A and B are shown apart, each in its own frame.
Chain A
């Protein structure tokens, strides 16, 4: 790894209140649904969007007499995550019951891990806005089952329970309270999001709830050693909302404290429509979870062979890939970071480089520039790009062999995107081929000189600045297609007389 992480605490994150500066302390609990085919303790499907309760079998419904049997793949994925964040993977972990009553929790308890989680003590490196790296500690990651959903529409004074999601495997990833601003929290969240997708253990779909986040937020006066009382914000399920919810909560707490009030430890819900957090009273009562080891499940023991087997399936991880991109392709840390933010984007980029046969910097510029611009504009993932890697490489090759100028290549790209054709077809159809024929450029120069005798005279009498004027005029005369370098050279010669 090329990054040297340091805990940056420059003070720039401090929040100015009416009575002084405040430090923000944030820890995140991320729930990543593991991308298994079947549920963690039953053979029901985990697919999103089925008809209500169509994917809830006897085990998921908590029917009397049924028993859980653990999904091997869920364990494998949890181990993969542990190895991916350099954590300690427990050779022996234990499932416990977390007891509380809620309609979306069929058994009246959630099977989770409490005292002996499968993953402990990991770290990730997060790149902050100022270009510095920060190490964020991962306290633990444990396996548990997801709950169902309560629906409220069309049922009058009642709610309807859909248990399709009940029993979907979750990896709960708990960070240390290392984060010092909403932006840092988002950067960390994005890093974990990148990581779980690299590891292919979670599809990362935040809209469908496959990747969710609760934030524990507290504030303390700068210099105060003890943490303040924290609130847990639930239901923050987009990167933007995480940032907004934390910022709202920070200001709420500071206002409260500066007004002489106290922060109450509680669970709060983020309401995106109103952009505020509010107390979730319903969750407050059930805080005595009465954890105890689940007698229906035995301790999970993993041997060295299992861990080795999982280790062999680890892909190149984002930090390693970014380091390699810097080294192998001569990219800046920033560019390498952007290109490795997702495995698909990195793969796309490398496919372009491979196809072009070099020129990594130019390939990077096109991937991060025009391609990403179009993707963002249309809100598409790299996998949905209308220009695939071989086609982008085709365009880059035409730039390199001077068939098309860099400037016109932008128009070519737009046409490729909208018309779905390759670079050569677009260049041909639109007649955008670059003019490199010396005599053709010379002819154009001659015409411009003839049409602008006054400017020619001024130039020749020492008004050098007019050179640009002649470049522009000649470029215009060639429809923008003249090779700029050749044009410059020939123009200089001709104007000089």
Chain B
């Protein structure tokens, strides 16, 4: 059976026509996971029983009629989304024993849409990382080359979809954590506009930047899932109350006449020449499809990495204070007093990168440094948002690389945080400005895939998805799978 190469539409159609059951489909993917996971380490929890129960329910709903269109479609959740009764670890020793007592809104919505939960995927600890090497559960490996990283922080979800262990998987993106791994494993991944997908139940890293999204093989598949995940949530004050467009129905919007902007600052130094060539070829393809290519300038954008590495740690230092060994999570042995309880529970429960970011954030918010670091970064953030606003006056969509290089070797950057942080140079801007952005495969360098990034204006998901879809109708990069997982 080749059910794992079906598109979401084909799976939904097959399930509706009863050519295969949801239980058969779940079983197919579970077998693939069980066989591949020891090598890839993409899943930290495989929810076999839950998956089969979900699938049986989907089959019953299909039999009765009136089932939602995704009934029986298997998915995986990044282990940052709380799942009621299932361990939610966030890739951390701190939450190794944590069983969430509730479902995240995203989890609830996708369950209501009929999807089947295969398991929870590995990730950088508390989503802090760009290589999936900071996980307490060990690194995830890139299905294209086991010696390479899959990117991060949603590396497990990305690797799972790339190896076709799940048709789709959720992710979160604070500085590129959906788009960068999507690029590095050759799949499609979209980070929606800030406020489009509820953050309720998504364990916070940096609240003003975090946004949930989805990985799948194609833009079309992403459109199906995003439609089911998105929407207003009264439990999230930053959730935006505006109707969700018909992303699937609007996929056919033509590219002709679309003004595609190239951000001058994104094609400068640090960009790998081969990557640049593939991005250029993709731009040429859009031109042939009838798009108008314009150059735009975002002069403050080169400051997005330092801005991010003030804002995100600041928010994270506060968000992670709740992990204190009192109400949930890791607690040290025999604390001698309250201070010891705090320091050792947190010192032992968090990994090195998380502690580094908590300390960075603590420092930039502390008395005497707040203005020079945090406040300054929030002002530069305004400049960056203004740059994008001007760019979107001249262009409908921005196109650029997702990552400066293809997947790098495991262990090659772990000891150098700055080099690691610079991986996010093209993705961070969209988080700072709250913009929707997507990565799609646009070619290979050797055996490693390369991603093309599309950035839209606020609530421009439909425009991004249709432009990506138009590209994918002309190319087959997104259909390629690593030979070992064909």
Residue on B nearest A107 in the bound complex, by CB: B322
B95–A64 touching, CB < 8 Å: yes
Render B89-111 as a binary contact track against A, CB cut-off 8 A, 1 for contact: 01000010010111010000000
Q: Which residues of A contact B318 (CB under 8 A)?
A: 97, 99, 108-109, 290, 292
Please measure, in the bound complex, the distance between the C-alpha atom of A67 and the C-alpha atom of B199, giving whole angstroms: 8
Given contacts A70-B237, A295-B208, contact A65 B200 (CB under 8 A): yes
The answer to the question of A62 belonging to the interface, with a C-beta cut-off of 8 Å to chain B, is yes
Given contacts A61-B327, A288-B366, contact A107 B207 (CB under 8 A): no
A107–B237 touching, CB < 8 Å: no
The answer to the question of A101 belonging to the interface, with a C-beta cut-off of 8 Å to chain B, is yes
Please measure, in the bound complex, the distance between the C-alpha atom of A97 and the C-alpha atom of B361, giving whole angstroms: 14
B328–A298 touching, CB < 8 Å: no
Partner of B366, one of A62, A70, A290: A290
B237–A290 touching, CB < 8 Å: no
Contact residues of B between 196 and 212, Cβ < 8 Å to A: 199-204, 206-208
Contact residues of A between 46 and 78, Cβ < 8 Å to B: 58, 61-70
B201–A66 touching, CB < 8 Å: yes
Nearest CB in chain A: distance from B315 CB, A: 6
Q: Which residues of B contact A64 (CB under 8 A)?
A: 82, 88, 90, 95, 98, 100, 203-204, 322-323, 328
Nearest CB in chain A: distance from B88 CB, A: 7
Partner of B82, one of A61, A65, A68, A107: A65
Partner of A103, one of B82, B95, B237, B338: B338
Q: Which residues of A contact B204 (CB under 8 A)?
A: 64-65, 296
- Count chain B CB atoms within 10 A of each CB in A63, A67, A69, A298 and give the residue with the most: A67
Q: Which residues of A contact B324 (CB under 8 A)?
A: 101, 103, 108
A161–B326 touching, CB < 8 Å: yes
The answer to the question of B293 belonging to the interface, with a C-beta cut-off of 8 Å to chain A, is no
Q: Which residues of A contact B322 (CB under 8 A)?
A: 62-64, 106-108
The answer to the question of A5 belonging to the interface, with a C-beta cut-off of 8 Å to chain B, is no
A295–B90 touching, CB < 8 Å: no
Residue on A nearest B343 in the bound complex, by CB: A101
Q: Which residues of B contact A67 (CB under 8 A)?
A: 199-200, 235-238
- Count chain A CB atoms within 10 A of each CB in B201, B238, B314, B326 and give the residue with the most: B326
Contact residues of A between 148 and 166, Cβ < 8 Å to B: 161
The answer to the question of A251 belonging to the interface, with a C-beta cut-off of 8 Å to chain B, is no
Nearest CB in chain A: distance from B150 CB, A: 24
The answer to the question of A297 belonging to the interface, with a C-beta cut-off of 8 Å to chain B, is yes
Q: Which residues of B contact A292 (CB under 8 A)?
A: 314, 318, 365, 370, 374
B326–A65 touching, CB < 8 Å: no
Contact residues of A between 239 and 273, Cβ < 8 Å to B: none
The answer to the question of B367 belonging to the interface, with a C-beta cut-off of 8 Å to chain A, is yes
The answer to the question of B234 belonging to the interface, with a C-beta cut-off of 8 Å to chain A, is yes
Render B142-173 as a binary contact track against A, CB cut-off 8 A, 1 for contact: 00000000000000000000000000000000
Contact residues of A between 324 and 369, Cβ < 8 Å to B: none
A101–B235 touching, CB < 8 Å: no
Nearest CB in chain B: distance from A144 CB, A: 15
B202–A65 touching, CB < 8 Å: yes
Nearest CB in chain B: distance from A234 CB, A: 18
Render B237-273 as a binary contact track against A, CB cut-off 8 A, 1 for contact: 1100000000000000000000000000000000000
Q: Which residues of A contact B238 (CB under 8 A)?
A: 67, 295-296, 298
Please measure, in the bound complex, the distance between the C-alpha atom of A161 and the C-alpha atom of B95, giving whole angstroms: 21
Render B182-202 as a binary contact track against A, CB cut-off 8 A, 1 for contact: 000000000000000001111
Please measure, in the bound complex, the distance between the C-alpha atom of A108 and the C-alpha atom of B315, giving whole angstroms: 13
Nearest CB in chain A: distance from B205 CB, A: 11
Residue on B nearest A163 in the bound complex, by CB: B327
Please measure, in the bound complex, the distance between the C-alpha atom of A492 and the C-alpha atom of B203, giving whole angstroms: 95
The answer to the question of B459 belonging to the interface, with a C-beta cut-off of 8 Å to chain A, is no
Please measure, in the bound complex, the distance between the C-alpha atom of A264 and the C-alpha atom of B39, giving whole angstroms: 62
The answer to the question of B342 belonging to the interface, with a C-beta cut-off of 8 Å to chain A, is yes
The answer to the question of B45 belonging to the interface, with a C-beta cut-off of 8 Å to chain A, is no
B327–A62 touching, CB < 8 Å: yes
Q: Which residues of B contact A101 (CB under 8 A)?
A: 321, 324, 342
- Count chain B CB atoms within 10 A of each CB in A70, A292, A298 and give the residue with the most: A292
Q: Which residues of A contact B95 (CB under 8 A)?
A: 64
Please measure, in the bound complex, the distance between the C-alpha atom of A6 and the C-alpha atom of B281, giving whole angstroms: 80
Please measure, in the bound complex, the distance between the C-alpha atom of A296 and the C-alpha atom of B238, giving whole angstroms: 7
Q: Which residues of B contact A63 (CB under 8 A)?
A: 101-102, 322, 327-328
Q: Which residues of B contact A70 (CB under 8 A)?
A: 237
Residue on B nearest A296 in the bound complex, by CB: B207
Please measure, in the bound complex, the distance between the C-alpha atom of A61 and the C-alpha atom of B206, giving whole angstroms: 20
Please measure, in the bound complex, the distance between the C-alpha atom of A101 and the C-alpha atom of B367, giving whole angstroms: 17
Please measure, in the bound complex, the distance between the C-alpha atom of A109 and the C-alpha atom of B322, giving whole angstroms: 8
Contact residues of B between 279 and 329, Cβ < 8 Å to A: 314-315, 317-318, 320-324, 326-328
Nearest CB in chain B: distance from A372 CB, A: 48
The answer to the question of B47 belonging to the interface, with a C-beta cut-off of 8 Å to chain A, is no
Q: Which residues of A contact B200 (CB under 8 A)?
A: 65-67
Partner of A297, one of B199, B237, B326, B370: B237
Residue on A nearest B341 in the bound complex, by CB: A103
Q: Which residues of B contact A69 (CB under 8 A)?
A: 234-237
A295–B207 touching, CB < 8 Å: yes
Residue on A nearest B199 in the bound complex, by CB: A67
Q: Which residues of A contact B201 (CB under 8 A)?
A: 65-66
Please measure, in the bound complex, the distance between the C-alpha atom of A103 and the C-alpha atom of B90, giving whole angstroms: 23
Nearest CB in chain A: distance from B316 CB, A: 11
The answer to the question of B360 belonging to the interface, with a C-beta cut-off of 8 Å to chain A, is no
B102–A58 touching, CB < 8 Å: yes
Given contacts A107-B321, A292-B374, contact A58 B366 (CB under 8 A): no
Please measure, in the bound complex, the distance between the C-alpha atom of A136 and the C-alpha atom of B297, giving whole angstroms: 56
Q: Which residues of B contact A99 (CB under 8 A)?
A: 317-318, 321, 365
Nearest CB in chain A: distance from B118 CB, A: 21
Please measure, in the bound complex, the distance between the C-alpha atom of A97 and the C-alpha atom of B82, giving whole angstroms: 24
Q: Which residues of A contact B365 (CB under 8 A)?
A: 99, 290-292
Nearest CB in chain B: distance from A227 CB, A: 21
Please measure, in the bound complex, the distance between the C-alpha atom of A99 and the C-alpha atom of B102, giving whole angstroms: 26
Q: Which residues of A contact B202 (CB under 8 A)?
A: 65
Please measure, in the bound complex, the distance between the C-alpha atom of A101 and the C-alpha atom of B234, giving whole angstroms: 29
Please measure, in the bound complex, the distance between the C-alpha atom of A65 and the C-alpha atom of B101, giving whole angstroms: 11
Nearest CB in chain B: distance from A458 CB, A: 88
The answer to the question of B7 belonging to the interface, with a C-beta cut-off of 8 Å to chain A, is no
Nearest CB in chain A: distance from B320 CB, A: 8
Closest A-B pairs by Cβ, 6 of them? A108-B321, A295-B208, A290-B365, A295-B207, A62-B322, A65-B201
Q: Could you list 6 examples of A-B contacts with CB < 8 Å?
A: A64-B204, A66-B235, A108-B324, A292-B370, A292-B374, A296-B204
Residues on B facing A (Cβ under 8 Å) = 81-82, 88, 90, 95, 98, 100-102, 104, 199-204, 206-208, 234-238, 314-315, 317-318, 320-324, 326-328, 338, 342, 362, 365-367, 370, 374
